[in-house]
Amino acid sequence: MNFAAIDFETANAAPSSVCSVGVVVVRDGVVAEKFYSLIRPEPEFYSFHNTRVHGITEEDTAMSPIFPAVWGEIAPLVAGLELYAHNAQFDKACLKAAHKAYSMEYPDYTFKCSCVLARKKLKGVLVKCGLAEVAAHLGVPLEHHHNALEDAEACARVVLALI
């Protein structure tokens, strides 16, 4: 089983405002690589709500690379792999919006949703299928929810547990 799990955190309501990304690459059913970076968001402002969720501030990302530089490191890691995310619509929208904000060509990545997978496999077992609830039910560690790397790793381990 080969795939990559990805998670974005955003600075504000704009999907292009990615301020951190976590990627976990799974090869032959084993976590093979991990990548994390802060990103200077576009547009570059933080909403109180978003900062309250993930704890990242403008000061944290002021000297961080912009999205194209970060994606230049990630693209080779995920080339040819399906991308899993928990609530994949959000992460796919972020990825597309960030590519558009920087006039980058968007490869047509195949996204799958670990939340949809959990709803299907755990039907009638869980009331909520948020990442924290699914991870806890499956015994997957998730100490710092909304840290992009921890969320990506939890997503990867959830997928491995459910497939």
Could you report the per-residue pLDDT of 39-83, keeping only the tens digit for each?
999 999 999 999 999 999 999 999 999 999 999 999 999 999 999
Task: Give a three-class secondary structure readout of 58-120.
Answer: HHHHCCCCCHHHHHHHHHHHHCCCCEEECCHHHHHHHHHHHHHHCCCCCCCCCEEEHHHHHHH
Looking up residue 44, the CATH number of its domain turns out to be 3.30.420.10
User: pLDDT-based confidence at 124, cuts 50/70/90?
Assistant: confident
pLDDT in tens, 97-115: 999 999 999 998 999 999 9
pTM of the model: 0.94
Angle in degrees, CA 39, 114, 108, rounded to 5 = 60
**Residues written for the chain:** 163
Record the tokens describing residue 161, joined without a space: 């547990």
* Domain with 13 in it: 3-162
Domain count, the chain: 1
